[in-house]
Amino acid sequence: MKAVAPERRVDFAALRKEFPIFERMVHGKPLIYLDSTATTQKPLAVLQALDRYYRTYNANIHRGVYLIAEEATQAYEDAREKVARFLNARSSKEIVFTRGTTESVNIVSHAWGRKNVGKGDVIVLTEMEHHSNLVPWQLLATERGATIRYIPVDRTGRLDLSGLDRLLEGPVKIVSLAHVSNVLGTINPVAEIARRAHAAGAVIMVDGAQSVPHMPVDVRTLDCDFLALSGHKMLAPTGIGALYGKREVLEAMPPFFGGGEMIREVRLEGSTWNDVPFKFEAGTMNIADAIAFGAAIDYLNEIGMEAVHEHGRELVEETMRVLGSIPGVTIYGPPAAERGAIVPFTVDDIHAHDVAAVLDHEGVAVRAGHHCAMPLHTKLGLTATTRASFYVYNLISDVERLGEGVRKAKQVFHR
């Protein structure tokens, strides 16, 4: 992919041609993929980086003294440096490679949580969390005898911060929240919450699974202690992600996984640990996908994250206009200017799965269900929603196809 000059508008229609999957047909119609919140499609640049590793320098890292092992190690560590720069971390030592957001949250809840959270302590979450940023903390609270408090969601889909100071009273150890809701698309005021959490003596963890792929994210500006992200939601393969942690916080944490590479010295009587970030990367890591993750970051940097964010906003605005013009469609969440590239909706009394099934036969792939956020759906009085989500390969014509499919669903079920 060629670099894009900052002053020139990105040609997203041309960019779409760099994704091989859009050459296929679904039920005899061109594929319209609107489920990028779940996982993104992969451009040729990423697929080629993955193939190149396996074809030309497949070797284990950090151990071999032969050429292809050194090449693999260099490419792996270059990818770590790319992630650090992408997030504006102070050092690549603040980036731990993981399988994704879920594993990153679990590392923090186990390694940091077991050391720092005890009986009577408080964990603060929000009512809009993905299960991956909810269940690990519930497990920790049960194990340690801690309490969980929740920042409520108001009827507009925004966090209600009016009672935040009260929620932060007492022995609050950590606040963990999504930067962008995977259901409503709400962009949460993380920097403000971090400031207030730190003032109360708590650390803050950010679920960046839906923000890092779609907008510029600066961990220093947010002043978060931890941030988790998934590569597969930003053009990289599945099974690779990262945990950002302030270096001093990571150094104070015990390791979570034990095994090779994360140790400095092993004796029968005990062991000592490697430096960060290697202390948290036990065994043979996902080398190939980390390298491809670096290629995905290169690809996004060439587009420009401001352009990615603006493109998503334009698609959301058009989606809310198109769906909002269809009788019986209800859209959930804040205005387009306050959300990521996500639009959840319901259609009359038609179940979300039925809407998605009709759309599938029209070649339009959307997600239907509770989207791993059952408490939020309960709060909204819903069992399920249909969710359309967008990325750099989507066009306004995709939104038009979505609207046509929703009208078709109404015709099918309301004859």
For residue 43, cis peptide bond before it (omega within 30 degrees of 0): no
Contact of 411 with 40, CB cutoff 8 Å: no
Q: Is 73 helix (H, G, I), strand (E, B) or coil?
A: helix
Contact 221, 191 (CB under 8 A): yes
Contact (CB, 8 A) for 316 and 336? yes
Residues annotated as catalytic (active site), given as ranges: 372
Q: What are phi and psi of 340, to 5 degrees?
A: -80, -170
Name the burial class of residue 407, with classes exposed (0-12), middle (13-18) and buried (19+) by CB atoms within 10 angstroms of its CB. Answer: middle
38-61 residues labelled b (16+ CB within 10 A) or e (exposed): ebbbbbebbbebbebbeeebebeb
Q: At what angle are helices 44-56 and 67-87 packed, to 10 degrees?
A: 150
Q: At what angle do helices 396-413 and 305-324 cross, to 10 degrees?
A: 30
Residues 6+ apart with CB under 8 A from 379: 127, 153
Q: Are 205 and 174 in contact (CB under 8 A)?
A: yes
Nearest to 360 by CA among 325, 406, 413: 406
**Cα(97)–Cα(229) distance, rounded to whole angstroms?**
10
Can you say whether residue 74 is alpha, beta or left, with left for phi > 0 and alpha for psi between -120 and 50 degrees? alpha
